[in-house]
Amino acid sequence: MKNSIKKGLGFGLTSGIITTLGLMIGLYASTNSSKIILGGIIIIAIADALSDSLGMHISEEANSANSKEQIWEATLSTFLFKFIFALIFIIPILLLNLQTAIIVSIILGIFLITIFSYYIAKSNKDSPIKAIIEHLFITVIVIITTYFIGKFINSIFGI
């Protein structure tokens, strides 16, 4: 896999999963509404994918060693992967009751982060266990933090 596409995949997958899970958990804790969560996922899949792909584009432009082709590969792959990995969380929301969908989404997110962390660690000849623990720790912190932020928002605004 080309390095520029690997960058887009790595950034898009991790950011797409963690950002979307954070949004979902926060909205679930504050609203308990499938419709609001679905709307949030769709909005973040588009807005955040565009934002992050522009960020990747500018970051890659700052590295003068990159060709125009590499810059655009990283930009477009970031958008595509971020968009796809955000939108996959729509499926459990549409097919399951909300509480079950949230649990399935957390499991799916943790599974995907684990698989990608293993792949990256192995390709870099690093310890997969160390990489997986580090990445899952951050993921769990996001999940817990956004849950309590959602509960706090609900208690203040009564959404």
Report how far residue 64's alpha carbon sits from residue 62's, in angstroms, rounded to the nearest whole number. Answer: 6
pLDDT given for residue 154 in this prediction: 95
Query: What would the DSSP string read from start to end of 5-34?
Result: HHHHHHHHHHHHHHHHHHHHHHHHHHH--H
Report how far residue 88's alpha carbon sits from residue 24's, in angstroms, rounded to the nearest whole number. Answer: 12
pLDDT given for residue 3 in this prediction: 86
Residue 67 three-state SS: coil
**Residues of the domain holding 51:** 3-157
pLDDT given for residue 66 in this prediction: 80
pLDDT given for residue 132 in this prediction: 96
As for how many domains the chain has, the answer is 1
Report how far residue 122's alpha carbon sits from residue 110's, in angstroms, rounded to the nearest whole number. Answer: 18
Report how far residue 104's alpha carbon sits from residue 82's, in angstroms, rounded to the nearest whole number. Answer: 19
Q: Going residue by residue through the chain, which has 159 residues, state the pLDDT in tens, using 9 for 90 and above.
A: 788 898 899 999 999 999 999 999 999 999 999 999 999 999 999 999 999 999 999 999 998 888 899 999 999 999 999 999 999 999 999 999 999 999 999 999 999 999 999 999 999 999 999 999 999 999 999 999 999 999 999 999 987
pLDDT given for residue 65 in this prediction: 83
pTM: 0.91
